Amino acid sequence: MTVTARQPGIPHPRLALPTPQAPEDLEAFQRWLNEAIPMVSQLGIQAMQQQDDWLEWQLALTPNLNDKGTGFGGAFTAQTTLLGWCWITLWLRENGLVRDVVVAEASQRFLAPVTQDYRLRCRPSEADGPQQLQQRLHERGKGRIQLTQQLYCGETLCLEASGNYAVLPQPPV
């Protein structure tokens, strides 16, 4: 993909869907994400991994420092929202669907200061959330899913977040 300056009102080209024979290339997805959403390159994402029903990022603290030398809550809010968006976008891609996703509602609860590099994990809030979403998409062409994000410094849980994400109907051709 050619890197060009983003312009308001002009959608970024979509990333081609993975083939059934090849799983999602998370490094290629992250490169696309950096181009599609310019602020992503400033968030300190060092690695992305996916397993079963969760998606996890490893992040550097330094780009997310506040004036006190700990993690900036606003950065974490952006990261948790974006991580949820990535979770549902990757789930849709895995299921061969190209759809727009938006966050409908989000909340965070800060539990402890973030004082070192950290990991942020996202998963469905309900075990059957993906199956419910798949059913709604089949029946109505749109749906929602509640996702939970948790931020850990080592073994310390520093933040819990929740987001309700809407998968929009496929636009008419």
- The mean pLDDT value of the chain amounts to 93
Residue 11 resides in a domain: no
Residue 10 resides in a domain: no
The DSSP bridge pattern shows strands 156-167 and 143-153 to be antiparallel
**Total domains present in the chain:** 1
Work out the angle at residue 32's Cα, subtended by the Cα atoms of residues 31 and 38, and round it to the nearest 5 degrees.
90
- Report pLDDT for 62: 97
Q: Is the pLDDT score of 142 beyond 60? A: yes
Cα-to-chain-centroid distance, residue 28: 15
Domain range for 80 is 26-167
Q: Is the pLDDT score of 109 beyond 80? A: yes
CA 172/CA 156 separation, integer angstroms: 47
- Report pLDDT for 1: 45
Residue 38 resides in a domain: yes
- Residue holding tokens 């024979």? 21
Count other C-beta atoms under 10 Å from residue 167's C-beta.
22
Q: Residue 43's domain is classified under what CATH number? A: 3.10.129.10
